[in-house]
Amino acid sequence: MSGERGAVSGERGAVSGERGAAPGDPSPERRGAVLDADLRVSRGTFTARARLCLAGGDVLALLGPNGAGKSTLLAALAGLLLPDDGHIRLDGADLTRVTAAPDDARGRGPHVLTQVPPSGRGVGLLSQDPMLFPHLSALANVAFGPRAQGVTARTATAQAALWLERVGLDGLGDRRPAELSGGQQQRVAIARALAAAPRLLLLDEPFASLDVDTAPAVRRMLRDQLRASGTTAVVVTHDVLDAVVLADQTAVLVDGEIVDEGPTARVLVAPRSPFTASIAGVNLVLGTADDGALVTADGLRFAGAHPQGAGRAEKPDGARVSLPDGAPVAAVFRPAAVIVGLHRPEGASPRNVWPATITSLEHGPNGIRVQTTEPAVAADLTAGAVAELGLAEGTPVWLSVKATEVALHAR
Ligand SMILES: Nc1ncnc2c1ncn2[C@@H]1O[C@H](COP(=O)(O)OP(=O)(O)OP(=O)(O)O)[C@@H](O)[C@H]1O
């Protein structure tokens, strides 16, 4: 999110209307609030729409490509941006309630019924830049939130010391931010955000500025502290690892619309959109059901492992359901399961063999990732195999994948 990085409820380090929190205290009033938001937010010609419902203590990952509208939604939740229409409620109390203006020639703006200012929402914001007060010690930075809420200096300092211990910075409380590493500064920022006991914590790419050696430990620590404190949180990220480690729920935003949402494991195991499949590292082919298999718009047929008898497939939650002919279906399979050849393979199931054209060769997780079309399918090959086959952009190939490697999911 631009502009207000590191601020908590619009004022650095402060969340008003809340008492400071001792670490790991999941008392009822400490637990994060139930979030119910249904929004339409515009920025220039761009519009994002989302319905977000979280139980107290849930962590939601908001994943999406650049420009998808993640920061726009976060800014609306923080009260920094007024939606065109919709509401944001925490524990049943309105933070934002706006009704769209009727379409008329006078260009009236939306009708704002409620818009609690950022500092009064009990919503914390943590970004990739720790934005600590440079002139204050780590301890004083963490104590700032509770102090701003009226907690006595002695109690706030004791709470801050406990938080620093919890985030692995015991003994470093006297240091100023400039005397700490980037990872240590982000740990202080996390302690500061949680010490302020936000009812909802918004995290905007919280590990993006950390190096690859530092990020995993800070990510683990944040997960532990979110769970221990029962904080309700929304994490905006490009990194699927953040969703896997931190989030119970994942929503995928593309072009301002949520294209995939649900429990993180369901979203990543049975993606419903090409973007979700790409971040989950699997292929996704969309089509409709035909006699228990998937048929694409171009007439390609994919048999899957899950159907037990015609017309049956596995639902994302694992339940077996029937797939009536014509129902929307997704076929999911790993790039490593795709076999690439120059000729139509003999003996393979004819239903999972199709001609394709190579569109690009890239470095892959275990060699070279070969991208093909149509449909868009990735195959992982060793460099030796690519060289032996003489593959290059534009090479016509035959692809095949065993039915046992293909999972069919109702969409
Ligand atoms: N102040 C602004 N005025 C006009 N358009 C804006 C403004 N800020 C963002 N946008 C546009 O809104 C769209 C969504 O931007 P947003 O920053 O919410 O996306 P994002 O998903 O957070 O992207 P990123 O991951 O790159 O930060 C983009 O098309 C962007 O150009």
How confident is residue 7, by pLDDT bands cut at 50, 70 and 90? very low
Whether the CB-CB separation of 306 and 408 falls below 8 Å is answered with yes
Does any ligand 1 atom lie closer than 6 A to the CB of residue 74? no
Least confident range of 72-76, 155-159, 213-217: 213-217
Q: What is the pLDDT of residue 349?
A: 57
- Per-chain mean pLDDT for the chain: 85
Q: What is the pLDDT of residue 251?
A: 96
CA–CA separation, 362 vs 383, rounded Å? 10
Does any ligand 1 atom lie closer than 6 A to the CB of residue 227? no
Nearest CA owner, ligand 1 atom 24: 66
How far is the centre of ligand 1, averaged over its atoms, from the C-alpha of 72 (Å)? 6
Q: What is the pLDDT of residue 5?
A: 32
How far is the centre of ligand 1, averaged over its atoms, from the C-alpha of 297 (Å)? 33
Q: Which residue has the higher pLDDT, 305 or 248?
A: 248
How far is the centre of ligand 1, averaged over its atoms, from the C-alpha of 43 (Å)? 7
Q: What is the pLDDT of residue 364?
A: 83
How far is the centre of ligand 1, averaged over its atoms, from the C-alpha of 66 (Å)? 8
Residue 202 has pLDDT above 70, yes or no: yes
The pTM (predicted TM-score) of the whole model is 0.79
Q: What is the pLDDT of residue 174?
A: 96
CA–CA separation, 242 vs 180, rounded Å? 24
- Ligand 1 pocket mutation, candidates 1, 70, 127, 279, criterion most atoms within 8 A of CB: 70
How confident is residue 102, by pLDDT bands cut at 50, 70 and 90? low
Q: What is the pLDDT of residue 391?
A: 96
Least confident range of 32-46, 141-155, 208-222: 208-222
CA–CA separation, 244 vs 216, rounded Å? 12
Atom from ligand 1 closest to the CA of residue 68: 21
Nearest CA owner, ligand 1 atom 2: 43
For the chain, percent of residues with pLDDT exceeding 70: 85
Domain 7-263 has CATH 1.10.287.110: no
What pLDDT, in 10s, does the model give residues 53-62?
999 999 999 9
Atom from ligand 1 closest to the CA of residue 66: 26
* DSSP conformation class of 102: P
Q: What is the pLDDT of residue 348?
A: 54
Nearest CA owner, ligand 1 atom 13: 67
Q: Which two tokens stand for residue 16?
A: 């008003």
Residue 238 has pLDDT above 80, yes or no: yes
Q: What is the pLDDT of residue 410?
A: 81
- Ligand 1 pocket mutation, candidates 40, 45, 46, criterion most atoms within 8 A of CB: 46
What pLDDT, in 10s, does the model give residues 378-400?
999 999 999 999 999 999 999 99
Q: Select the CATH number that applies to the domain covering 281-410 from these four: 3.30.565.10, 2.40.50.100, 3.90.1150.10, 2.160.10.10.
A: 2.40.50.100
Q: What is the pLDDT of residue 276?
A: 92
What pLDDT, in 10s, does the model give residues 336-365?
999 999 999 887 555 689 999 999 999 987
Work out whether strand 200-204 and strand 123-127 pair parallel, antiparallel, or are unpaired. parallel
- Ligand 1 pocket mutation, candidates 72, 74, 81, 127, criterion most atoms within 8 A of CB: 72
Residues of the chain with CATH 2.40.50.100: 281-410
Burial 285-324 (b: 16+ CB within 10 A, else e): bbbbbbebbbbbeeebbbbbebbeeebbbbebeeeeeebe
The question of ipTM being above 0.90 is answered as yes
How far is the centre of ligand 1, averaged over its atoms, from the C-alpha of 214 (Å)? 28
Does any ligand 1 atom lie closer than 6 A to the CB of residue 68? yes
How far is the centre of ligand 1, averaged over its atoms, from the C-alpha of 274 (Å)? 21
What pLDDT, in 10s, does the model give residues 111-135?
888 999 998 899 999 988 888 999 9
Nearest CA owner, ligand 1 atom 4: 44
Residue 77 has pLDDT above 70, yes or no: yes
In order of 175, 247, 359, 389, the CA distances from 59 in angstroms are: 31, 5, 38, 46
Nearest CA owner, ligand 1 atom 28: 67
Residue 19 has pLDDT above 80, yes or no: no
What pLDDT, in 10s, does the model give residues 278-327?
888 899 999 999 988 999 999 999 988 763 333 444 454 444 456 788 88
Residues of the chain with CATH 3.40.50.300: 7-263
Residue 208 has pLDDT above 50, yes or no: yes
Whether the CB-CB separation of 330 and 284 falls below 8 Å is answered with yes
The mean pLDDT value for 221-244 works out to 90
How far is the centre of ligand 1, averaged over its atoms, from the C-alpha of 47 (Å)? 10
Residue 94 has pLDDT above 60, yes or no: yes
Does any ligand 1 atom lie closer than 6 A to the CB of residue 45? no
